[in-house]
Amino acid sequence: MVDSTESESRRLLGRLREAMAGDAPGQARLDKITHLIADSMGTEVCSVYLFRDDETLELCATEGLNVESVHQTRMRIGEGLVGRVAKYGKVVNTPDAPNAKGFRYMPETGEERYSSFLGIPIQRLGEMMGVLVVQSKEAREFSSDAVYALEVVAMVIAEMTELGAFVGEGAALSPLHQQPVLLHATAAQEGAAEGHVWLHEPRVVVTNPIAEDPHRELQRLTEAVEELRVGVDKMLKISENGDKDQLQVLETYRMFANSKGWMRRMEEDISRGLSAEAAVEKEQSQARARMSQVQDAYLRERLSDLDDLSNRLLRILTGQGAETGAELPENPILIARNIGPAELLEYGRSLRGIVLEEGSVGSHAAIVARALAIPLVVNAKRITTEALNGDHIMVDGDQGIVHLRPDETVVSAFRDKIAMQADAQERYASIREKPAITRDNARINLLMNAGLMADLPSLEGSGAEGVGLFRTELQFLVRNQMPKRSELVTLYQRVLDASHGKRVVFRTLDIGSDKVLPYMKPTDEPNPALGWRAIRVGLDKPGIMRMQLQALMRAANGRPLSIMFPFVAQFEEYRAARLEVDKTLERERILGHPLPERLEVGAMLETPSLAFAPHKFFDEVDFLSIGGNDLKQFFFAADRENERVRKRYDTLNVSFLTFIEQIVERCVRSGTPLSFCGEDAGRPIEAVCLAATGIRTLSMRPASIGPVKSLLMRVDLSEVRKLILDCRHRGDQSVRPAIMRYLREI
The rounded Cα 107 to chain-centroid distance in angstroms is 43
Instruction: Specify the stretch interacting with Mg ion by CB under 5 A; choose among 225-233, 408-416, 483-491, 630-638.
Output: 630-638
CA dist., res. 350 & res. 333, Å (int): 9
Minimum separation from the CB atom of position 677 to Mg ion (A): 9
Q: Output the DSSP codes for 317-376.
A: HH-TT----PPP-SSEEEEES---HHHHHHHGGG-SEEEESS--TTSHHHHHHHHTT--E
Overall size of the chain counted in residues: 746
- Answer for which of 628, 684, 702, 707 binds ligand PEP (CB under 6 A) is 628
Q: Which of residues 571-610 bind Mg ion (CB under 5 A)?
A: 606
Count the Cβ atoms, other than its own, within 10 Å of residue 332.
22
Report the partner that residue 678 touches, choosing among Mg ion, ligand PEP, none (CB closer than 5 to 8 A by kind): ligand PEP
Helix, strand or coil for residue 268? helix
Of 130, 139, 140, 156, give the one whose Cα is nearest residue 12: 156
Nearer to Mg ion, 606 or 680 (CB): 606
How would you label 267-279 residue by residue, b for 16+ Cβ within 10 Å and e otherwise? Answer: bebbbbbbbbbbb
Residue with Cβ nearer ligand PEP (116 or 651) = 651
Nearer to ligand PEP, 77 or 469 (CB): 469
Select 136 or 513, whichever has its Cβ closest to ligand PEP: 513
State the DSSP code for 208: -
CB closer to ligand PEP, 158 vs 677 = 677
Catalytic residue among 46, 60, 667, 677: 677
Closer residue to ligand PEP, CB minimum distance, 250 or 689: 689
* Under rule CB under 6 A, residue 630 binds ligand PEP: yes
Of 156-164, 176-184, 325-333, 624-632, which segment contacts ligand PEP by CB under 6 A?
624-632
Residue 521 per-residue DSSP state: P
Dihedral sign computed on CA atoms, order 158, 394, 740, 432: positive
**How many binding residues for ligand PEP (CB under 6 A)?**
10
The three-state DSSP-derived secondary structure of 223-263 is HHHHHHHHHHHHHHHHCCCCCHHHHHHHHHHHHHHCCHHHH
Q: One symbol per residue from 673 to 712: x for binding ligand PEP (CB under 6 A), - otherwise; what is it?
A: ----xx----------------------------------
Residue 667 known to be catalytic: no
Q: How many CB atoms lie within 10 A of CB 512?
A: 24
Please answer whether residues 232 and 342 qualify as being in contact, where contact means their C-beta atoms are separated by less than 8 angstroms.
no
Residues in contact with ligand PEP, shown as a per-residue x/- string from 577 to 606 under the rule CB under 6 A: -----------------------------x
Instruction: CB nearer to ligand PEP: give 515 or 554.
Output: 515
657 vs 677, beta carbon nearer ligand PEP = 677
The distance of closest approach from Cβ of residue 534 to Mg ion in the complex, given in angstroms and rounded to an integer, is: 7
CA distance 37 to 4: 11
For residue 678, the minimal CB distance to ligand PEP (Å) is: 3
Alpha-carbon distance of 264 to 266, in angstroms, equals 5
Site for ligand PEP in 715-734 (CB under 6 A): none
Nearer to ligand PEP, 353 or 628 (CB): 628
Nearest CA to 664 among 682, 683, 684, 690? 690
Asked if 630 touches Mg ion (CB under 5 A), the answer is yes
- Whether 364 sits among the annotated catalytic residues: the reply is yes
Q: How far is the CB of 677 from ligand PEP (least distance, A)?
A: 5
* Backbone φ/ψ region at 432: left (φ over 0), alpha (ψ -120 to 50), beta: alpha
User: Of 32, 315, 364, 471, which one interacts with ligand PEP (CB under 6 A)?
Assistant: 471
Among 421, 490, 629, 734, binds ligand PEP (CB under 6 A): 629
Give the separation between CA 566 and CA 576, rounded to whole angstroms: 13
State which amino acid sits at residue 462: S
Shorter beta-carbon distance to Mg ion: residue 126 or 627: 627
- CA 194 vs CA 179, 189, 378, 394, 405: distances in Å: 18, 15, 17, 4, 11
Q: Which of 121, 400, 468, 627 binds ligand PEP (CB under 6 A)?
A: 627
Instruction: Give the helix/strand (H/E) hosting 624.
Output: strand 624-626
Considering CB distances under 5 to 8 angstroms, the limit depending on partner class, which of Mg ion, ligand PEP, none binds residue 195?
Answer: none
Q: In Å, what is the CA distance from 517 to each residue of 163, 475, 478, 528? A: 41, 10, 9, 14
Binding mask 226-265 for Mg ion (x = CB under 5 A): ----------------------------------------
State the minimum distance, in angstroms, from the CB of residue 297 to ligand PEP: 21
Task: Candidates 142-150, 243-251, 484-492, 625-633: pick the segment binding ligand PEP (CB under 6 A).
Answer: 625-633
Q: With contact defined as beta carbons under 8 Å apart, do 97 and 114 qualify?
A: yes
Q: Least distance to ligand PEP from the beta carbon of 509, Å?
A: 11
Q: Which stretch binds Mg ion (CB under 5 A): 360-368, 446-454, 627-635, 732-740?
A: 627-635
Work out the angle between the directed axes of helices 6-21 and 144-162 (0-180°, nearest 10).
Answer: 20
Taken in order 41, 42, 43, 49, the sign of the CA dihedral is: positive
Residue 159 touches ligand PEP, criterion: CB under 6 A: no
Q: Which of 46, 364, 403, 689 is catalytic?
A: 364
Residues that bind Mg ion (rule: CB under 5 A) add up to a total of 3
Residues 194 and 331 sit within 8 Å (Cβ to Cβ): yes
Task: Tell which residue, 459, 505, 429, 468, has the closest CA to residue 696.
Answer: 468
Give the binding range for ligand PEP (CB under 6 A) out of 237-245, 370-378, 478-486, 621-629: 621-629
* Distance of alpha carbon 163 from alpha carbon 159, whole angstroms: 6
What's the closest the beta carbon of residue 519 comes to Mg ion, in angstroms? 22
Of 271 and 513, which has the nearer Cβ to Mg ion? 513
- How many CA atoms are closer than 13 Å to the CA of 382, on its beta-carbon side? 17
- Of ligand PEP, Mg ion, none, which one does residue 661 interact with (CB within 5 to 8 Å by kind)? none
Residues in region 506-545 near ligand PEP by CB under 6 A: 510
Q: Which residues contact 584 (CB under 8 A, 6 or more apart)?
A: 546, 549, 550, 553
Min. distance of Cβ 415 from ligand PEP in angstroms?
34
Binding site for ligand PEP (CB under 6 A): 469, 471, 510, 606, 627-630, 677-678
Binding site for Mg ion (CB under 5 A): 606, 627, 630
Active site residues: 364, 677
